[in-house]
Amino acid sequence: MTNGRGPSGERQPSQRGFGLIELLITLGVMSVLGGLLTGSMFQMLQAGSSNGARIQVADQTVKATKRLLNDGHMAQSAGVVDGAPAVATATFDWEAGGVPVSCTYALASGTLTRTCNGGAPFAAAAGISNLQFSRSGQLLTAAFAVTSGDGSETEDISVNVLIGGR
């Protein structure tokens, strides 16, 4: 059994625990790794935010085009003069079960609105700007821009609708 003293009687240092140098090296390595992880996490959060804006633009685009396509395919007329300069509104007219239906699309404060038979306007999609309708024969083109709620993403959209193309 040893008493913690060397052959000449001096006290031997204990080998338990960490020395100051080892502790400083460990802290340095941990701070470098922490900095790298923090930077990676920040980049992931930014990418998630950007993807959210892109998803929002895609969602509003689907909402805007879904009703336009449906109404355009059912329409017997589109209220846009063939070959004339582009206009900011379009009216689709058709009959449903012998009842006349007339739906007008227009832009109101950044929202694509759809008003049918003189009723209250329905917000078809938000974040819409530069709405223009033009026509060539039975093909109606709706061109517009869609912007995400935070303004970070904008996409120019052009939708071709075949009038009466059920």
CA distance 140 to 21: 76
Kindly tell me if the per-residue pLDDT of 4 is higher than 60: no
Looking from the CA of 75 toward its CB, the CA atoms found within 13 Å total 24
Closest CA to 71 of 93, 44, 54: 93
**Residue ranges per domain, the chain?**
57-162
Any residues with CB less than 8 A from the CB of 96 and at least 6 apart, and which? 74
Mean pLDDT of the chain: 83
Per-residue tokens: 103: 């739906």
Confidence of residue 162 (pLDDT cuts 50, 70, 90): confident
Sequence-distant (≥ 6) Cβ neighbours of residue 120 within 8 angstroms: none
